[in-house]
Structures are given as C-alpha cells and as structure tokens.
Amino acid sequence: MNKVVDLSGGPSGGSGRFREQCLRYLAEPDSAPVRVLGTDRRVTARWLLRRELMVRSAVRVVSTNNVGFATGRGVRVTLVRNANHFLTEQEWARSKRYFRPGFAAQIAWVRAGLRRADVIVVPSSSMAERVGHVLPGVRDRVVVRFHPLRQPARTAAGPDERFLLCPIVDSPFKRMRVHLTELARALPSGVRVVSTMRPDTAPPELRDDPRFRFVGVLDRDRLAEYYARCAAIYYPTAVESFGYPLAEARSAGIPVIAQDSAHNHEIAALALHPFDPDRSASLRDAVEAALCAVLTPDPEPFAAESYFDWLFDHHRTPIGSVRAGQSEWARDVPA
C-alpha cells in the first residue's frame, strides 16, 4: 500500500477515540487502502525512528499523534491534538509544575516535526491559532477539521436519573478537584454527578458526598451507557485542542455545561450552556438552564467517512466540499 498512517499513542482519551474511529473506517470495504502502523505502541523516540524506515516509498504518510514524519518522498500529514504543546508563556508558567520533566523535550519534537509537515490538521480554530502563534512559518499549511466521532446513543433521562456526567480523564493540570468542588456548591436539589475520576483521586470532601459518584476510567461501551441516560454533560476544563465531550454532546443533543469561550462555542454550538468560572452564580445558572434544555442532535459536523476520505485523499475529496467556510484556516490540501 502506498499510503501509511501511524496510530501510535495512548489507549484512552482522545487518542483512543480517534484510533477507534480510524480503524472502523479502514475496515469498511470501500475505504482508502492504507497501511496501519503503531496501533499497539506508545509514542517513544525509538518508535519514531523505527517508523521512518517503514514509509520511504509511501506517497502519503499520516501521523495522528502530534509528531510528524521527518523523511519520505510523499505528502506528510500531521494531526495535532495536544494543546499543551502550544501553551502561551502565561499558561506554561501556571501549569509547567504539573508535567513530567521530559515534557519540554516532547514539545521540541512536536514543533520540529511540524516544520517539515506539508499539511497540519488541527481540530479547532483555537488550536490553529495556537500553532500559528508559536510557529508562524507553518500558518499556510494549517487546516481546521473537527475530529470524527461515533454519535452516542441517546435516551430520555428518567426521573430517577437526573444526573450530570463529567467524562474527563483526570490529569493534574486539568484542576478537576477545584472544578468539582465548585460544581458541588452550584448543584440544584436532587441532582447527582457521575465523574470518571477514581475515588482515591477525588476531592476528599466529596468522596462521601451522596450527590457524587466516582466511577474511574470507563471503556467506551460503559461510558456510552452514561451518555445515554445523563441529563447534561459537565466539561469545565479551560485548555483543550478539541474536547470530545463537547462534540459528543452536540452530536447527540445533550446539553453541555462548559466555560464561556470561543473554542467551546465553536465545538458545542447550540448544545453549550456557558458559565464564567469567576462567578459562582454563573455556573449555577448554567446548570439549571442545561437541565431544562431540549436539543436536536447535530452529528453532521463530525461525520467520520468524509473526514477520513479527506485525510487519506480517498476519492480526491476536496476540503471545500465538506467544510467550506468553516474557518479562515481551511484551504486546499496538496494531493
């Protein structure tokens, strides 16, 4: 096969969701003929060197894990999904203590790879701005494309299932202890919260709170069951490249409570019930509005088939025919 994709990366979170959708697409009879690498591998220096030897004759090489290919004769396409590789100086100063010592070196790898990329795919306009700010020389190679996703099944929440779902894989820089503590003060009577934090990492004052249930990281099928029954999604984090819960809420017609930012409005659209993190009353108002909202599912912006047809240049799908005018960053991609 003369097209190659590297799907290496972590098994959970956004990396795992994207890999699942890509493999599902490639299993279809009419999908693009693509050689798949790295499905069982983490992104390490050894793996990055090894994969270069596998793509020398490929006409199109796609990296889905932030680190682009450095060699080969074909078109190099890099999917950039981690906003933490492109933090502003102020954001880095606030959060650098939360990252492993080797993370700064990882940032250098990512940025060096992007300088050699022919096409840089980002999942939001805010991510395009981040990349363009740090690496102004690559701005004309950046294309905005929402991540593809499988629409969660949706059923109406019953009277005994009035709960908010917080489907965030916890990391120190996400400050989930602070966000959940603030949510506890804003909850209306009779409303519960299901969080995918582990009980041992949850805020101590909430571990015995009967309104909160900490279930830990769930597999995709189990998480889908919670999506199907929840009254709304709570997604309070500030720095995201995409935010799958924002997109999944919009796709399935589930209200989502998230910070009032241009990024969240772009991804969640009418599903968003925004709040100002500096005003506790704002969060309370957003929760109450979300609990009363009735939405129409909007899955089209996240359609997987058109996304991967475009990514792998299958049927020569032009970007303008799928997301024309979506962003000033969208432009034709080299064939």
Kindly report the length of the chain: 335
Q: Does residue 188 contact residue 288 with C-beta atoms inside 8 Å? A: yes
CATH class (in words) of the domain with range 163-292: alpha beta
Could you say which architecture CATH assigns to the domain 3-148+303-323? 3-Layer(aba) Sandwich (3.40)
> Rounded distance, CA 25 to CA 41, Å?
20
DSSP type of residue 328: T
pLDDT of residue 332: 40
Put residue 313 in one of left, alpha, beta given phi > 0 → left and psi -120 to 50 → alpha.
left
Q: ∠ at Cα 96 (274, 100), nearest 5°?
A: 115
Percent of the chain with pLDDT over 90: 57
Put residue 243 in one of left, alpha, beta given phi > 0 → left and psi -120 to 50 → alpha.
left
3 state SS for 60-91: EEEECCCCCCCCCCCEEEEECCCHHHHCCHHH
pLDDT of residue 324: 30
Q: Does residue 7 contact residue 38 with C-beta atoms inside 8 Å? A: yes
Domain boundaries, the chain: 3-148+303-323, 163-292
Q: Does residue 106 contact residue 296 with C-beta atoms inside 8 Å? A: no
pTM score, two decimals? 0.85
Of 294, 291, 233, 226, give the one whose Cα is nearest residue 267.
233
Please name the residue that has the structure tokens 């995709």: 220
**Mean pLDDT per segment of 10 residues, for the chain of length 335 residues?**
88 82 92 91 90 90 92 89 86 80 84 92 94 93 92 57 87 82 93 94 92 91 90 91 93 95 96 93 96 92 93 62 39 38
Q: ∠ at Cα 298 (295, 302), nearest 5°?
A: 150
pLDDT of residue 309: 92
Mean pLDDT of the chain: 86
**Position 157: which residue type?**
A
Do 3-148+303-323 and 163-292 show the same overall fold?
yes
pLDDT of residue 272: 98
